[in-house]
Chains A and B, each alone.
Chain A
Amino acid sequence: MISFRILDLIIALLYLSGAVSFLAGLIYSRKRVQDVSVCLTLTGFVLHTADLGLKYALGLGEVLTQSQFYISLLAWTFLLIFLLLWWRLKLKFLSLIAAPLALLIFTWSLAISPATLPIPGLLQGLWFGLHIGSLFISIALLAMAFGAGLAYLHLDRKIKSKSRMGNVTRDLPSLSTFDRVNHWAVLVGFPLFTIGTLAGFIWAAFTWKTIFSWDPKEIFTVAIWFIFAWLFHKRATGGWKGKKPAKLAILIFVLSLASFVGINFFTETHHSLSPDGTQDIPFRPQS
């Protein structure tokens, strides 16, 4: 397993160098540095893919019960979505948010010791996979919308107030590009978020024989879902564009992050990922 340690370290270093060099490239407005930085992140991503694949292939069922694996997978999903946007919208800029986030989450996955989640049964595996997969993608989309939203608000303020644009602002993509990120994040992210949440409830129904158990995480998620639904509705039918959806996407992402970090680790919930947390206490559904 020492080889995995080394691989993990290399990936973390690649993400670190990608994140730092992109920031430098942005500040000194050097296009080539930015390109190199995206390549570094991309290399990290390829290795990360191999890392996850190998861990899955070698450990098979076992890794799926480790929170480490899921956190690492989340970091991977962030980059997957970033790379998709980079490819489709030619939007290098989001590397600014994607690379550090991936680095942070990936390092975090390395720092925690393996914790074991309740093992899903074979049938429930599908629902659990759907739950994790679609929620991770929608959170990654939200992260991109968060970055794009902040950039949008900044650029919008600069243009509206007619204030001097520095080199960094001048090199930013256009407002419409950032709005398009929000558009895709909302239009694709919300259905995935819905599917993911529903799959979670169905999985809960199979595993714990109850759908809703007043778990703080569940309450929080439903609240986020309502805000997200409102944004989706406004964006899809009300023709919302620009500032408002940008602000809401930022809010939803911050709430999701709070829910992921705060609730999973610091409160008693069956979503616990913390090693010394509550997973040893068998979950008792309220009947």
Chain B
Amino acid sequence: MEHKIYLFGLNHKTAEVEIREKFALTGFNPISQKLVEKEGPVLEALVLSTCNRVEILCVGLSEQHLVREKVMDTWAGFCQADPDLLSSHIYTSTDRDAVRHLFSVAASLDSMVLGEPQILGQLKDAYRKAVEEHSTGVIINRMLHKSFSSAKRTRTETAVSSSAVSISYAAVELAKKIFGELSLHRAMLIGAGEMAELAALHLLNNGLKEILVANRTLERARELAHRFKGQPLCLEDLFKYLPQADIVISSTGSSSAIIRARDLSEVLKKRKHRPMFFIDIAVPRDIDPDVNQLDNVYLYDIDDLQEVVEENLAGRKEEARKAEKIVDQEVDKFEKWLSSLDLSPTIVDLLNKGEAIARKEVKKSLRNLPQEVDPKTIQILEHLAVSLVGKLYHEPIVFLKRRAQEEGSAEKFIDLARKIFNLDEEQIPENAHTEKKRK
């Protein structure tokens, strides 16, 4: 194999935040920074730079020290920092390990919060950028596509991303477990505070019908209500409006409980005993713990929610083991593809050129489409173009491989193919043929 896959990186496990900040690669362009060059040692590259990890994935020549040196120099140079410092924090993996690492990152198995969904989006963004900058080729393209699909598989086949791992999401999940569809239900936000507002926001995003906002002063209530497009009310009117609320999020600075079990019997009667869910985020608590003893009333305070979150995290760890098996299967599949693609540079060049043409044409066509094309259409177009090229080049590639097998040497054909498809990008003089004629 002439080419090798490399991965260099630092993440939250290997480097402190100061180091990660220092070596962040935001805005790094592998082409203009001369990381990727036609004659190597680095031939394809993709840069992923988030707050928890900075990684460079690349395909390069098989001489590892050359590739490493090149990457370190460019990276440290871009960050204007000491390459030795970078070297001491970096992890390197090659070939199968590198592929495996990428797939694990995409599936969020290497994240600080196991299974969090953002990383996949960040990886997709990084890939889009790399494609735009033309720093990727056949191998990285295929690798990234496969990492996306394997991430999707882990998500649907395991519960690694399913349960809530933040307090506000845990509250929403519980509300759904109690009420089912939230679109018929109202919530009341009492007081304010970052976590309470976040919970309210998540509820609204999950289809909550309306939110009532109660505060000590009507003015402050109005302010908050405006943000949530809700209905403001004064804290004094709390019990007048409480029967309307199915979910109550409380986060006031009150030193004593504002809702007691005995206050609720009247409210519950008015509600015809429809269930109520109290989320008490305040410390000291706003809602009397005895409330939880009432039928059809559920109370979770901040500690309870924290416990749910921790249990969910533990559950994710179990699921991650299953997800790792899926990742292994997908890595196997990718390796198979890699070895089937006899890495003779001509084939890689051929496919690279084809893909470049396909992408260029897609870009052109997109310009002719109306401004607001949905991403799905773009995806379909890209897929169409790339697979068309793949199919068209399939026969010539098979031909070359067969010649190599049967005749032991396919040099003249490879040479011919390079010329036919102009893989060496030689400039042909415009009047080349006219001169010939004259002779």
Name A residues whose Cβ lies closer than 8 Å to a Cβ of B.
29, 155, 159-160, 162, 164, 167, 170, 172-177, 239-244
Q: Evaluate contact between B177 and A244: CB separation under 8 angstroms.
A: no
5 nearest A-B pairs in the assembled complex, by CB-CB distance: A239-B272, A174-B180, A242-B296, A241-B273, A176-B180
Distance in Å from the Cβ of B168 to the closest Cβ of chain A?
17
Partner among A29, A170, A174, A242 whose Cβ is within 8 Å of the Cβ of B295: A242
Contacts of B176 in A (CB 8 A): 174
Cα-based distance from A241 to B275 in the complex (angstroms): 8
Q: How far is the CB of A94 from chain B (nearest CB, A)?
A: 15
* Interface residues contributed by chain B, number (CB under 8 Å): 23
Per the bound structure, the CA–CA distance linking A231 and B53 in Å amounts to 60
Instruction: Return A170 CB to nearest CB of chain B, in Å.
Output: 7
The answer, yes or no, to whether B244 is at the interface (CB within 8 Å) is no
What are 21 inter-chain pairs, A to B, with CB distance below 8 A?
Answer: A159-B174, A159-B178, A160-B292, A160-B298, A170-B162, A173-B180, A174-B176, A174-B177, A174-B178, A174-B180, A175-B179, A176-B178, A176-B179, A239-B269, A239-B272, A239-B273, A240-B273, A242-B273, A242-B296, A243-B295, A244-B295
Residue of chain A at shortest CB distance from B300:
A162
Q: Tell me, in angstroms, the Cα distance from A242 to B273 when the chains sit together.
A: 8
Query: What B residues does A160 contact at CB under 8 A?
Result: 292, 298
Which one, B35-43, B73-81, B130-138, B303-311, is touching chain A? B303-311
Q: How far is the CA of A167 from the CA of B318 in the complex (A)?
A: 12
Closest CB in chain A relative to B286 CB, distance in Å: 18
Given contact pairs A175-B177, A176-B178, A159 touches B298 in the complex (Cβ within 8 A): yes
Contacts of B296 in A (CB 8 A): 241-243
Answer whether residue B274 sits at the interface, using C-beta atoms and an 8 A cutoff. Answer: yes
Say whether A162 contacts B308, CB under 8 Å: yes
B412 → A minimal CB distance (Å): 53
Known A241-B273, A244-B295: A162·B179 in contact at CB below 8 Å: no
Nearest B-chain residue to A166, judged by Cβ: B315
Contacts of B178 in A (CB 8 A): 159, 174-176
Question: Does B50 reach chain A (CB closer than 8 Å)?
Answer: no
A176 to B269 CA separation, bound complex (whole angstroms): 18
Nearest-CB residue, chain A, relative to B308: A162
Query: Taking the nearest CB of chain B, how far is it from the CB of A194, in angstroms?
Result: 24
Residues in B whose Cβ lies below 8 Å from that of A159: 174, 177-178, 298
- With a CB–CB cut-off of 8 A, which chain B residues contact A176? 178-180, 275
Chain B residues with CB under 8 Å of A164's CB are: 311
Could you tell me the distance between the alpha carbons of A109 and B24 in the complex, rounded to whole angstroms?
73
Q: Do B304 and A162 have beta carbons less than 8 Å apart?
A: yes
Please, which residues of chain A bring their CB within 8 A of the CB of B275? 175-176, 241-242
Q: Are A162 and B307 in contact (CB under 8 A)?
A: yes
Chain A residues lying within 8 Å of B300, measured Cβ to Cβ, are 162
- Chain B 267-308 per-residue mask, 1 if CB under 8 angstroms from chain A, else 0: 001001111000000000000000010011010100010011
A contact residues around B179 at 8 Å (CB): 174-176
Residues of B within 8 A of A175 (CB): 177-180, 275
- CB of B163 within 8 A of chain A? yes
Q: Are B274 and A29 in contact (CB under 8 A)?
A: no
B159 at the interface (CB under 8 A from A): yes
Residues on A with C-beta less than 8 A from B311 are 164
Determine the distance from Cα of A170 to Cα of B275 in the docked complex, in whole angstroms: 19
Instruction: Enumerate chain A residues within 8 angstroms of B162, measured Cβ to Cβ.
Output: 170
Taking the nearest CB of chain A, how far is it from the CB of B316, in angstroms? 12
Q: How far is the CB of B153 from chain A (nearest CB, A)?
A: 14
Cross-chain contact A29 with B159 (CB below 8 angstroms): yes
B177 neighbours in A (Cβ, 8 Å): 155, 159, 172, 174-175
CA distance A121 to B429 in the complex (A): 106
Across the two chains, which residue of chain B brings its CB closest to A179? B275
- How long is the Cα–Cα vector from A172 to B177 in the complex, in angstroms? 8
**Docked-complex contact A167 and B295, CB < 8 angstroms:** no
Complex CA gap A240/B272 in Å reads 7
Which B residues touch A167, using CB under 8 A?
159
The CA of A243 and the CA of B275, in the complex, are separated in Å by 11
| Complex Cα spacing A173 to B177, Å | 7
Q: With A174-B178, A243-B296 given, name 6 new contacts (CB 8 A).
A: A155-B177, A159-B298, A162-B300, A239-B272, A241-B296, A242-B295
